[in-house]
A and B are shown apart, each in its own frame.
Chain A
Amino acid sequence: MSTKPVFVPSSETAISRRGFFMKLGILFNGLAAAVVAMPIVGFLFSAITRGRANGYLSWVQLGKIADFPEGETRLATFRNPYVMPTDGTTADTACWVRHIAGEQFQVFAINCAHLGCPVRWFQQSGLFMCPCHGGAYYSDGSRASGPPERGLFEYPHKIENGLITIQAGELQTPGAAIAALTGEKPPCA
């Protein structure tokens, strides 16, 4: 009869072998989940971070100055600079080009500053009208009447070699104005 000392854990501080491995198992799974979660979150939110990618906001040519007679406002269309293979016609975008005089231009987004419906230009009355909720704007894009709280969105533009070029690539929404306050520079403000 040997009196081999046997380790008997007290019931309060008991960490059994099985219990320990179970806790280790939970910890291990937590680690695995965290490792897998990082790329998943990165993938899910890539639509936001993609904004920093090249070509997201680019200079797009709308056409020759001669195509836009002085004193007139005309519809121009362009292909969005950032395109995916499945975009189809949705990547085509329209905008209103107002040739004031000489090299003075204004390029307005097609989207109403209220809720984004396509505004139409009426040369005779010098108004942009929105078919959705009845917003109206003057020829210089400023708000005339209706629910919009601001004028039409304008694209930054420049004239190069007789071509009118705008900086485009993002849907124009009223939130851009709020973003401007927080420091993020929207393409149109």
Chain B
Amino acid sequence: MRMMIGRIGQWFDFRLQLAAPVREIAEHPVPRNTASWWYVFGSAALVVFILQFLTGILLALVYVPSGAEAWSSLQALNHAVTLGWFIRAMHGWGSNFMVAIVLIHMVQVFLFGAYKFPRELTWTIGVFLLLMTLGMAFSGQVLRFDQDAYWGLGIGASIASRVPILGPAIVKLMLGGPIIAGATLSRFFTLHVFVIPGLLIGCVCLHVLMVLKLGINEWPMPGRVVKRATYMNDYHELTKKNGAPFVPYAVWKDMFFAAFIILAVAACALYFGPFGPTGRPDPTIIQTAPKPDYFFLWLYALLSLLPPSLETPALLIGPVVVIAGLLLLPFLSGEGEKSWKRRPIAVLTVMMIAITLGTFTHLAGYTPWSPHMSAWSGDPVPDQFIHGTTALERQGALIFQVKQCRNCHSLGETGGQRGPSLDSVAVRLTQDQLIRQVIQGGGNMPAYGKNLSPAETTALVAFLETLHPKGQAPARDAARDVALGDEKPVVQP
């Protein structure tokens, strides 16, 4: 039996001639200290990519890329097709894992100086792989053709439209027509299923080929400096003389981690289930607050926090600068120290970017900049703010709610956070200042002068003046008391 299998194998290999090169690849020597758990992220990214590939094909068996039917076909996947929900969940969670692993892989490569000579091109292609991964994440969100996808496309179109001169043409090219509609979904389907995966496969092959040809980056040692003249000899020394074959010396860690990641994706899929779809992509349903997927939340926060005048330049120039910086990195610092222990600026850069993105993502989790659209009708005025108030002050509390002030201002920690909390506004502003602020607005607050009668303003300000902590007197304008001649002794509550 064994001989039989051996002979069949020989028959094939005589024709295919693959055994020798495959063995050569598998057993290529690697520096001994690269058999590390730090070196598993690249192969894990490849494994998740293959997983995405397979689950994507499975989803395509049911999914219909038509503006009129995509949403219903996703509902069918979720509820009617056996285990459709699980495949959708695997694909959705797989995409989150893929972005995360690609980012971790990139950070590891950066901190280990692996982008330096002679691996500059490997890094460059890696940058394109990152961009394509993000492109897949965004286009995938569009294929989940729901309300978030629809308005997300609107945001993408609004950003694209700001390109000088070419903007409107780019928008039409992106949407496939004058509006977000069936043609838009069709072209994002083409990007997500044909164009980007094709490019990804090509670039992944090149990327892996270069890792095999140039060898895996050795473990960086402080003081072992990369020089173009001597590096190849030094690396040869590490691999050929003191190295070990990749299979089985280092590969088992990759295999363990890959299996762990696949199980983690499956576990998330099983526990959390698929993403959406949210409501129908019907633009006449306007009671929606669209939000991007996890990996673009930081961008959502950035777009809220940038001053308006800086937004367009930041949106159009920022990506160019960041991508150019990433692409140029290996050519600007292709030699020198590899170890993170001797590269404090590199470490600080990573930390700064991580903290910035983390903070923005955290902020986007609760969107303090968005008005709470139903706070005025839904959130009660907490007891402590109306207890023992006069009729006029209560009338003011009512106006405060009815005029939607609550949508942007919180009371007792409920309500919008767009404007400052008004729990103790009377301590900060005097009566005059309150009246002025309400009527004229300013400091990012609309003016309410046209929408409040004098009586309403009086009542509203009377209510606002009661908003101060017990034991803390409201702000008062001493000069006004003197000028109006109604100076009263300050009553300590």
Chain A interfacial positions (CB closer than 8 Å to B): 45, 47-48, 50-51, 56-57, 75, 77, 80, 82-94, 110-111, 114-120, 122, 124-127, 129-134, 136, 138-139, 144-149, 169-171, 173-176, 178-179, 182, 184, 186
Verify B288–A131 contact, CB threshold 8 A: yes
Let me know if B455 is at the binding interface, CB within 8 A. no
Chain B interfacial positions (CB closer than 8 Å to A): 66-69, 150-151, 154-155, 157-165, 167-169, 171-173, 175-186, 280-284, 286-290, 300, 303-304, 306, 308-309, 311, 369-371, 373, 376, 402-405, 407-408, 418, 441, 444-448, 450-451
Output the nearest chain A residue to B451 by Cβ-Cβ distance: A126
Output the nearest chain B residue to A137 by Cβ-Cβ distance: B446
Contact with B308, one of A125, A126, A132, A148 (Cβ below 8 angstroms): A148
A-B contact pairs, 6 of them (CB 8 A): A89-B68, A94-B286, A110-B286, A149-B309, A171-B171, A174-B158
Secondary structure dominating the interface of A: loop
Verify A175–B163 contact, CB threshold 8 A: yes
Assuming A92-B282, A171-B154, is B67 touching A125 (CB within 8 A)? Answer: no
Q: Bound state CA distance, A115 and B171, in angstroms? A: 13
Contact with B66, one of A88, A91, A130 (Cβ below 8 angstroms): A88
Q: Bound state CA distance, A118 and B150, in angstroms? A: 11
Verify B178–A124 contact, CB threshold 8 A: no
In the bound complex, residues from chain B placing their C-beta under 8 Å from that of A94 are 283-284, 286
Verify B154–A85 contact, CB threshold 8 A: no
Distance between B374 CB and nearest chain A CB, rounded to angstroms? 10
Output the nearest chain B residue to A127 by Cβ-Cβ distance: B446
In the bound complex, residues from chain B placing their C-beta under 8 Å from that of A117 are 151, 154-155, 289-290
Distance between A47 CB and nearest chain B CB, rounded to angstroms? 5
Verify A84–B182 contact, CB threshold 8 A: yes
Verify A176–B289 contact, CB threshold 8 A: no
Contact with B177, one of A82, A118, A173, A184 (Cβ below 8 angstroms): A82
Contact with B371, one of A85, A92, A131, A175 (Cβ below 8 angstroms): A131
Verify B404–A125 contact, CB threshold 8 A: yes
Verify A116–B151 contact, CB threshold 8 A: yes
Contact with A86, one of B173, B186, B444, B447 (Cβ below 8 angstroms): B186
Q: Bound state CA distance, A126 and B452, in angstroms? A: 10
Q: Bound state CA distance, A88 and B446, in angstroms? A: 38
Verify A48–B67 contact, CB threshold 8 A: no
In the bound complex, residues from chain A placing their C-beta under 8 Å from that of B172 are 47-48, 50-51
Q: Bound state CA distance, A118 and B178, in angstroms? A: 17
